[in-house]
């Protein structure tokens, strides 16, 4: 089975946020941006069906979202999936920023970038709350791992 964990394209979370901002800026309207986000979700590594359970579910999301984490070589690698295409894209976007980073970098990367990129305003309230819940979950895991 292929590795389900997201390997970052950029060297740092800050570089990933800057790259995403540049990519989103190339589109003229939100329909094109939504399509771009949906395409990101389609590129997520395959998520094992056995992980699509309550133990892996992220609370606070209207759609079903599942995540798993592993620690390897001092970094946290995340896998994620959703039953909704736009939400899968949002999962991919978050994992591009946070996966494959040390816990300290994850904790230092405030999810305010979601607001700065205009994503929270462009999404429905429920989706905005959901992506905020996903970002919170990633950072809680990092805090736990750093403390542990």
Q: List domains and CATH numbers for the chain.
A: 13-147 (3.90.1010.10)
Q: How far is CA 47 from CA 29, 43, 124, in A?
A: 30, 11, 26
User: With contact defined as beta carbons under 8 Å apart, do 24 and 34 qualify?
Assistant: no
C-alpha to C-alpha distance for 36 and 67, rounded to whole angstroms: 22
Instruction: Output the pTM of the full model.
Output: 0.93
Q: What is the pLDDT of residues 97-128, one digit of tens each?
A: 999 999 999 999 999 999 999 888 888 888 88
Q: What's the mean pLDDT in 49-78? A: 93
Q: Is the pLDDT higher at 73 or at 146?
A: 73
- pLDDT for residue 127: 84
Any catalytic annotation for residue 1? Answer: no
- Answer whether residue 62 shows pLDDT above 90: no
Sign of the torsion formed by the C-alpha atoms of 60, 105, 17 and 37: negative
List the catalytic residue out of 61, 114, 134, 135: 61
- pLDDT for residue 92: 97
Query: Mean pLDDT across the chain, nearest whole number?
Result: 93
- Answer whether residue 148 shows pLDDT above 80: no
- Answer whether residue 147 shows pLDDT above 80: no
C-alpha to C-alpha distance for 67 and 43, rounded to whole angstroms: 16
Q: Using CA atoms in the order 133, 139, 144, 148, what is the torsion angle rounded to 10 degrees?
A: 160
């Amino acid at each position: 089975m292929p590795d389900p964990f997201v390997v970052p394209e950029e060297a740092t979370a800050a570089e990933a946020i800057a790259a995403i901002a540049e990519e989103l800026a190339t589109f003229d309207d939100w329909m094109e941006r939504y399509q771009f986000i949906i395409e990101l979700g389609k590129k997520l590594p395959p998520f094992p069906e056995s992980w699509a359970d309550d133990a892996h579910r992220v609370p606070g999301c209207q759609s079903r979202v599942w995540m798993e984490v592993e620690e390897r070589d001092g970094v946290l690698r995340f896998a994620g999936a959703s039953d909704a295409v736009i939400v899968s894209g949002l999962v991919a976007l978050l994992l591009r920023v946070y996966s494959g980073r040390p816990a300290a970098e994850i904790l230092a990367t405030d999810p305010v970038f979601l607001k700065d990129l205009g994503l929270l305003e462009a999404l429905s309230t429920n989706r905005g709350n959901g992506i905020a819940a996903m970002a919170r979950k990633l950072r809680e895991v990092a805090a736990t791992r750093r403390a542990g």
